[in-house]
Structure 1
Amino acid sequence: MNGKDKISVIIPCYNVQKYIMRCFDSIYSQTYGFENLEVILIDDLSTDNTWSILESLQRQYPEKVISLKIQKKGKCGGARNLGMDICTGKYIAFVDADDYVHPDMLRVLHDRMTEDDYDVAQCGVSCFKEAKPNVLEASDYEIQRLDLDNVDNRKNLIIGLTGFTNVTAWAKLYSTKFIREHNLRFVEDVYYEHTHFSMLCVLLAKKYCKVQSTLYYYFENTGGIIRSEISNAKIRDAKIIMDHIRRAIQSRKAELGNVIEQCHCEIQSFLLWHQYLESYNRIENFLKKELDICKEEFLNSEPDIFNNPYVRLFSDDAVLKRMSKLRATAKKMDNVCFLDNAIHICLGIHDKDGNYSVWAGTTMQSIVENTKAPIVFHILHDDTLNEMNKNKLSLIADNSGNGIEFHHFNPDIFGSLADSMNRFTIGTMFRIMLPDIMPDLKKIIYLDSDLFVNTDIEELWNLNIDNYCLAAAQDCSTIRNWGTPYAVAAGQTTRDRYFNAGVLCMNLDNIRKNGSLFQQVMDYLNDNPRTWLPDQDALNSIFSGETLLIDEKWNYFIDEARKNNEKAEKKIYHYAATLLMLHTNNEIDRAYYFTILRTPWGEQMEDGLLCNSMGRIVDRTGMLEKLLKKATQNNVRLVFYGGENSSIRNAMRLLNRNFDSCEWHEHLKKNEIICDDNTVYIVSADADDGNGLEILANAGLENGENYFITQRFLHYTEGGFAL
């Protein structure tokens, strides 16, 4: 030892002769120093050559490796408990024998643990299937430091335990003192023992740290302990583990204090996910009888589940629809009744970087969670939709008992238009193809992919539009005079009739009677090249007198809800190129975020979304603190630079300056800029057509010292950056 804290690494082993050396080598190569480790290898009565390998490792490293053979098979829980009983390290890490750890994992987690005496430190996880993972240099250790006296922090951790990589025992470093003071143990001889252990850690911990870097590599081993067999026992074990958690919570009431009451809904949602919903999601082949028993037992244990705000539509009809094989059965029986009675919904996807499909998937997820009627999703796409994202979209439909059809076409039919779409994706143009691509459909709902459908969409579907071509809601920015679309300025429609095309109920029969919609839109765009809302302006012009205007609840802009801090209502919320922001403290954004987590992209999106929002808060408060220190100094001259917009005016208001009397420049040249300690520029990011920041930097000014960007220190409702 060299003065460093000892870390005990506990590795349960069962029939891992092919993988154990790969795992051990990654432990041996830790930059924390193998000499500072105690590696405990526990064989759970393997039937292959695993034990011989463990014995040889102990002979080779007698001071650092302990190899034990468990006397009674107890699955991973029994092995880990034995390891905890004999370990002597100040900290404990659990590693599965077929996994791999980053060379810096223990060093990074130990450094974080010792910063503020954390009980648990957790790192990011990546999966691999090859002989060895692709290990990248971990150069950026973004950190979430969570004081669990803050109830919201604990609630978020509990909800996060529905993610596979969060609920595991590995990829974490634990304080041995914390584990022993609370007598934390694994349940033995059952699967999912880590679920019980992780839940108690989150409930009992005072301080919890999450390192965003990927430092643990999970091997997707089809022969592993969880994945090797498909059996009803695994469904039963999920119930057993949840009952252990319930009993532990009851027996530890004194220890937990008011945590149980404060986090009741989150704990209950965790139990629902792991005992009932995950039982189906993880195990593909099971008897319906087992599911019914599982459901009945859960409802007996949690009779007030219907009052839980996290749980929506947990009725018999919804469960049967979500958990049945309706779509597969209908196809096998050639039962067209399903399609005839279904709501048909279309989304267009152009996904050039592979990151767009998640938003379409989240729109779908929000629909199936709020709508009982059968649905057929129609996905219009080009070659940019990859197979992985296609499979995930299909999973959302399949898991909810709904249908999905993919319609591929070549966007080259739009010609040079694709290159002139500016900030809009060519995917928005796909909707004009609907009458041609689906000649047998009479009606369809088209939806943009940046929607959160927080209502039953069947009500929109049932609108009578027999005498119309479209039903759509007015565009809120247009009717509030925030902007004038080209079609309104050109007199092609009126301001009060201009609609937003992000949500459309389309009467395809009536549209076809007017001729080819595709050709009409293309002709419009050729004749009106100045439009910057391409097909939206075209649709408004073509169907000006043939559109039923409907309530704004069917297409309600999220900015409106945020500005007024509105509660979540039965509406379709349109993010309209506005990013999800968790720092708004708005319950609509939170509900949208949790919907994303319930999609097949949930685990990969979770940390990124949280980090983006936390990063914006840190940046804004840091800039604001620096600016106020500067602005309150004596003899400081504030110069405002940029066009007369909301961010400039709000910056003046924040700094108690009057627009008519303060020093303000709409344009500046490099030779007009003063560079001294007493002059501070307050500049809008779009000053001088976006060149203002470069002009200031070239004059020798430093961002955050001699000049401050309004969008960085203002709240987003005042003209600040969203993220």
Structure 2
Amino acid sequence: MIHVCYCFHDKTGRYAKFVGTSMLSLFEKTFAPVTVHILHDDTLTPDNRDKLLLIAERCNQIVKFYNVAELCSDKLNQMVRMVPVVEKSRVSVGSFFKLMIPQIIPRELDRIIYLDADILFNLDVSELWNIELGDKIFGVVTERANGIGTFPVSRDGFVKPEDYFNSGVLLMNLNLLRGEESTILDGVKFKAEHLQYKQFDQLIFNYCFATRTLKLPVKFNRFVGRARGKGEPLDEKIYHYAGVALTLETSDPFNRLWFSCFMRTPFLDVEVFGRIFREVSNLCNLLKDRSLNVAVGMSDKDRAFFVAPTQLDAVKKFFAIRDDELIIPAENEDSLRKLLDAMKTFKGDKIFFIMTEIFLKRPFPFDLLTKAGFVAGKDFINGWLLLSDKKGGAPYNSYSLVKAL
């Protein structure tokens, strides 16, 4: 019997579909019997629980549920008190459920595979399960194996860059982990003292165990964004749709792989289309509001532009810039000073179109403008939002629609 584990907090009720889709791909690609262990809290609705059970039943597999809020309330509350920002973070308090796997999973199990919800299987998980860990705590795929640059925690010397791993797929040695409860709590304390690092469970596990892992081939946790960027064909791998890698563009083979699985889960129901309609309506209203804000902001004002010299000809064409309109070249740090000086001089008379999405290899610092007292839509506009992808603007990412499914 192969044992795998998912952990999640589902405040919107829309997260369970990712777990269900991942489960179905796991079951369909694996010939051995599998038991799925799900660590959750009271945000798992009865309807979503039934859908997850149905997926397992249809595939003649097993799923078990563990309410962390009931089984480990004291430990969970202690961690949340230590790091209260977790409740408002993108990953949610569910990231701490992962830290409790060794204590919650039955003690007769000496190993388990942990999986993030945005994992999809295109290989038999037996390949991963049959790897011997020996005296290692985790089997991992490093971030470097996926071509990811150095993380701040590595630059600061806490974890070697070559050891820093992604926590989305973990082959866990439960026998060893059960003796490391105090070590993990020290990791939580480290997170509490280093809030500048964005990661939660991944940071904690790396801080505690980065030197005690077995490094695995990248096929066991291949980032979709990286595979897509390199033009890789679909292969026998475990795919990780990290970030906003999953969109509705089904001509993309990686998106198509996920949706072909999702459509065979009970999470595809009539309500999906209503949620998509509402989300699209919200997007349409947002675009209308932005257009109106531009019209209002331009009332009785002249235009000015902050634009990189390499983009100047295109921007002149798209915006029909006149010869008498102010243009500040975005070339260096001094250019930013010139922009701020000009905005102070012409405050109330000109509205500045910021046409430099990336400035000095970083996203343009709009917060610098707001801290200086300037107001978006009144004193300046992010001009890139007005350009279609055909004109060099950012292509639309439909991940918000995926979340609404």
TM-score bracket for this pair, using the shorter chain length: 0.7 to 0.9
SS at match of 2:375: helix
2:257 match: 591
Contact between 2:82 and 2:188, CA under 8 Å: does it hold in 1?
Answer: no
- Which residue in the other structure is 2:68 paired with? 409
Q: 1:385 aligns with which of 15, 24, 44?
A: 44
What residue is the counterpart of 1:463 in the other structure?
Answer: 131
Q: Please state whether the residue corresponding to 2:53 is helix, strand or coil.
A: helix
For structure 1, the residue ranges without an aligned partner over 5 or more in a row are 1-341, 624-635, 641-647
| CA distance in structure 2 between the aligned counterparts of 1:517 and 1:553, rounded to whole angstroms | 30
Q: Is the 8 A contact 1:580 1:593 kept in 2?
A: no
Per mean C-alpha deviation after superposition, the further-off stretch among 659-668 and 444-453 is 659-668
Three-state SS of the structure 2 residue aligned to 1:431 is helix
Q: What displacement does 1:588 show?
A: 0.6
Aligned equivalents of 1:445 and 1:649: distance in 2?
Answer: 51
What is the SS of the residue equivalent to 1:531?
coil
Q: How far off is 1:659 after superposition?
A: 5.4
How much has 1:396 moved relative to structure 2?
1.0
Deviation at 1:538, TM superposition (A): 1.8
Offset at residue 596 of structure 1 (A): 1.6
Inter-partner Cα distance in structure 1 for 2:397 and 2:365: 15
Matched, 1:430 2:104: no
2:59 aligns with 400
Deviation by residue 1:644-668 (Cα, 9 ceiling, x = unmatched) = xxxx899679659985399953764
> Which one of 660, 682, 690 corresponds to residue 355 of structure 2?
682
Q: Give the conservation status (yes or no) of the 8 Å contact 1:450–1:577.
A: no
Matched, 1:537 2:216: no
Question: 2: distance between equivalents of 1:679 and 1:718?
Answer: 18
Task: Give the RMSD, CA atoms, in angstroms.
Answer: 4.0
Sort the Cα spacing of 1:494 and 1:582 in 2 relative to 1 into closer, same or farther, 3 A.
same
Amino acid across the alignment from 1:419: P
What's the CA shift string for 1:371-393, capped at 9, x where partnerless? 12111010001111111111111
Does residue 497 (structure 1) correspond to residue 163 (structure 2)? The answer is yes
Determine the C-alpha separation between the residues in 2 that align with 1:369 and 1:562.
Answer: 23
Partner of 2:378: 698
CA deviations 1:101-160 (Å, max 9, x no partner) are xxxxxxxxxxxxxxxxxxxxxxxxxxxxxxxxxxxxxxxxxxxxxxxxxxxxxxxxxxxx
**Conserved in 2, the CA contact under 8 Å of 1:476 and 1:557?**
no
Distance 1:478 1:436 in 2: 31
**Take 1:664 and 1:497, find their aligned partners in 2: how far apart are those partners?**
40
Residue segments in structure 2 that go unaligned for 5+ positions in a row: 70-75, 291-302, 317-327, 358-363, 399-405
Q: CA deviation at 1:694?
A: 7.0
Deviation for aligned residue 1:691: 3.9
Q: Which amino acid aligns with 1:708?
A: G
Aligned-partner SS, 2:167: coil
Given that 2:146 and 2:223 are in contact with CA atoms closer than 8 Å, whether structure 1 keeps it comes out as no
* Match 1:485 to one of 147, 152, 164: 152
One-letter code of the match for 2:205?
L
> Does the residue aligned with 1:578 lie in a helix, a strand or coil?
coil
Pair 1:557-2:223 in alignment: yes
Contact kept in structure 1, 2:115 and 2:169, CA below 8 Å: yes
Distance 1:592 1:676, change over 3 A: farther
Larger radius of gyration: 1
The alpha-carbon distance between structure 1 residues 696 and 718, as it changes in their structure 2 partners (threshold 3 A), is closer
Distance in 2 between residues matched to 1:572 and 1:589, nearest whole Å: 14
Q: Secondary structure at the match of 1:582?
A: coil
Which structure 2 residues correspond to residues 268-667 of structure 1 after superposition, within 5 A? 342-410=1-69, 411-417=76-82, 419-421=84-86, 422-438=89-105, 439-476=107-144, 480-481=148-149, 483-486=150-153, 488-516=154-182, 518-578=184-244, 580-583=246-249, 585-603=251-269, 604-605=271-272, 638-640=305-307, 655=315, 660=331, 665=336
The one of the two structures with greater contact order (alpha-carbon pairs below 8 A, sep at least 6) is: 2
Residue number in structure 2 paired with 1:135:
none
Aligned equivalent of 1:722: 397
Q: How does the TM-score come out when normalised to structure 1? A: 0.43
Q: In 2, are the aligned partners of 1:583 and 1:614 still within 8 Å (CA)? A: no
SS in 2 for 1:369: helix
The residue matched to 2:355 in structure 1 has which SS? strand
1:683 to 1:414, Cα distance in 2 relative to 1, 3 A: same
Provide closer, same or farther for how the CA distance between residues 585 and 680 of structure 1 changes in structure 2, counting only shifts above 3 A: same
**Aligned length, in residue pairs:** 354
CA distance in 1, matches of 2:196, 2:351: 46
Offset, 1:401: 0.6
Q: What residue is the counterpart of 2:298 in the other structure?
A: none
Q: TM-score, normalised by structure 2?
A: 0.74
Deviations 1:331-377 (A, max 9, x none): xxxxxxxxxxx111110010112111111111112211211211101
- Give the deviation of 1:530 after TM superposition: 4.0
SS of match in other structure, 1:709: helix
Q: Which position in structure 1 is the counterpart of 2:319?
A: none
Matched to 1:378, the amino acid is H
Q: Report the CA distance between 1:612 and its aligned residue.
A: 6.8
Q: How big is the shift at 1:721?
A: 5.5
| Counterpart amino acid of residue 378 in structure 2 | N
SS at match of 1:599: coil
- The one-letter amino acid paired with 2:187 is V
How far apart are residue 526 of structure 1 and its match? Answer: 4.3
State the SS of the aligned residue for 2:114: strand
Q: Please show how residues 169-318 of structure 1 align to structure 2 within 5 Å.
A: none
CA distance in 2 between partners of 1:597 and 1:503 (Å): 24
Q: Percent identity?
A: 26
The amino acid of 2:109's aligned partner reads L
Q: Distance in 2 between matches of 1:544 and 1:407?
A: 28
Amino acid across the alignment from 1:639: F
Q: Which amino acid aligns with 2:85?
A: S
The residue number in structure 1 matching 2:384 is: 709
Assess if the C-alpha contact under 8 Å between 1:453 and 1:572 holds in 2.
yes
**Within 1, Cα distance between the matches of 2:257 and 2:351?**
47
1 CA distance for matches of 2:313 and 2:40?
A: 47
Q: Which amino acid aligns with 2:28?
A: E
**Cα drift, residue 548 of structure 1:** 0.6
Distance 1:650 1:571 in 2: 40
1:651–1:710 Cα contact (<8 Å) kept: no
Show CA shifts across 1:452-471 (max 9, x none): 22221111111111221100
